[in-house]
Amino acid sequence: MNLQRYSTVRGPGEDEVVIKKSRFIGYAKPVETEEEAVAFIDEIKRMHRTATHNCSAYMVGERDQFQKASDDGEPSGTAGKPILEVIKNKGLKNVAVVVTRYFGGIMLGAGGLVRAYTDGAVAGIEAAEEITKVLHREVFVAVDYTWYGKLENELHGRGTRVGGTEFADRVVVKCLPETPEAEAFIAWIVDLTQGQAEITIGEDIYCIDGER
């Protein structure tokens, strides 16, 4: 994906709600491909072979181009669609959700099922923890040891995310500015070090917003 930022889950997560003696166990997991989503759903189905239903939904892709919802035997539109709607309403991408039901003997009706599967999906997603991923560019900055103290202080003052430091013949700091800011960041490094830094540009990678 090339989105600058998107919301997903840290996952995997699991939680359970009980409604009129029926158990609804919600599972959520981040997935990168449709194949991963299907494999996760199949895994939960194997785990709960004796369950009454294993209803699911997933949304994958930069433009949410891969979407699917399954009622798994529940009345049409009462399970898979509500699960998918939870994913959409939360603005999440690259997420698969399964809600497993063990029937407790009391019929819920269509409206009751929609609410129950919605609650199960929300429980699973909350257990998996919603996060925002932001696209950053790897910028490796190599400086002599005499520059390291100043560089470290200035990076801290600027609030730049640092992905690690290697101490060899020179100090190499893996800096992670947000991708749109990478060119301005590199120009700032060149100015800061009076052109003494050796700069290597790496890949674009996603980091969790708010974490260092």
Question: Can you list the domains of the chain with their CATH numbers?
Answer: 5-128 (3.30.230.30), 134-208 (3.30.70.240)
- Residues 6 or more apart in contact with residue 118 via CB below 8 angstroms: 82, 83, 85, 86
- What is the rounded distance in angstroms from the CA atom of residue 122 to the CA atom of residue 125? 5
List Cα–Cα distances, 150 to 67, 90, 104, 145, 192, in angstroms: 49, 42, 65, 10, 9
| Structure confidence at residue 212 (pLDDT) | 64
Residue 23 · residue 104 · CB < 8 Å: yes
Q: Give me the numbers of helices (H) and strands (E) for the chain, helices first please.
A: 5, 10
Tens-digit pLDDT string for the chain (212 aa): 789 999 999 989 999 999 999 999 999 999 999 999 999 999 999 999 999 999 999 999 999 999 999 999 999 999 999 999 999 999 999 999 999 999 998 889 999 999 999 999 999 999 999 999 999 999 999 999 999 999 999 999 999 999 999 999 999 999 999 999 999 999 999 999 999 999 999 999 999 998 76
Query: pTM for this one?
Result: 0.87
Please choose, from the candidates 200, 203, 211, 199, the residue with its C-alpha nearest in 3D space to the C-alpha of residue 162: 211
Residue 135 · residue 16 · CB < 8 Å: no
- What is the rounded distance in angstroms from the CA atom of residue 143 to the CA atom of residue 189? 11
- What is the rounded distance in angstroms from the CA atom of residue 81 to the CA atom of residue 73? 13
